[in-house]
């Protein structure tokens, strides 16, 4: 199982390198360090701005989706589309998400990347997302991921947990 996840992460890193090359070609944005992986990509805010404007292919979304604890219903809700629309995107060759949806995909990727660093496993992270938090107004963190302000609150809470600050 662990080997599958490591292999998937390698696939995701490779896909990000290809995607970043496309973003550089299309936008004119130039990276100094071309050897960028998934985690570094999510930390480069200017690159993310250009990437959002280019849109996310369904192929890249599928790879990102595999490292998140979210199912199709969660993703459809976050992206503001129906599950059927999500499935239609999968069926279309070369489907590209709109910038607003691409931004949400990267936001959730960022939360998941940090969450997995803090909790070590997808199961523990997903359990935390589904547990009401006093620090987050007794809401489940997953409920806050539907908008950018909520996402920032979840990110801040994950940082506090990582630093051992519990409310």
pLDDT confidence of residue 5:
61
pTM as predicted? 0.90
Give the pLDDT confidence score for residue 167 in this predicted structure: 53
Q: What is the pLDDT of residues 15-55, one digit of tens each?
A: 999 999 999 999 989 888 878 999 999 999 999 999 999 99
pLDDT at 4 (0 to 100): 46
- The string of DSSP letters for the chain reads -HHHHHHHHHHHHHHHHHHHHHHHHHH----S-----HHHHHH-HHHHHHHHHH--BHHHHHHHHHTSS--HHHHHHHHTS-HHHHHHHHHSTT-B--HHHHHHHHHHHHHHHHHHHHHSSHHHHHHHHTS-BGGGTTB-HHHHTTSHHHHHHHHHHHHHHHTT---
């Amino acid at each position: 199982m662990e080997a599958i996840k490591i292999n998937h992460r390698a696939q995701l890193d490779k896909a990000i390198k290809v995607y970043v090359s496309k973003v550089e070609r299309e936008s004119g944005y130039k990276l100094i360090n071309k050897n960028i992986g998934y985690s570094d990509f999510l930390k480069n805010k200017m690159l993310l701005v250009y990437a959002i404007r280019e849109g996310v292919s369904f192929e890249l979304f599928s790879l990102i989706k595999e490292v998140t604890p979210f199912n199709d219903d969660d993703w459809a809700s976050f992206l503001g589309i129906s599950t059927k629309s999500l499935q239609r995107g999968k069926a279309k060759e070369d489907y590209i998400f709109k910038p607003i949806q691409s931004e949400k995909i990267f936001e959730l990727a960022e939360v998941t990347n940090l969450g997995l660093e803090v909790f070590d496993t997808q199961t523990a992270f997903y359990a935390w997302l589904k547990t009401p938090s006093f620090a987050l107004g007794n809401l489940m963190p997953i409920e806050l991921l539907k908008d950018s302000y909520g996402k920032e609150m979840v990110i801040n809470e994950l940082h506090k947990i990582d630093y051992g600050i519990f409310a």
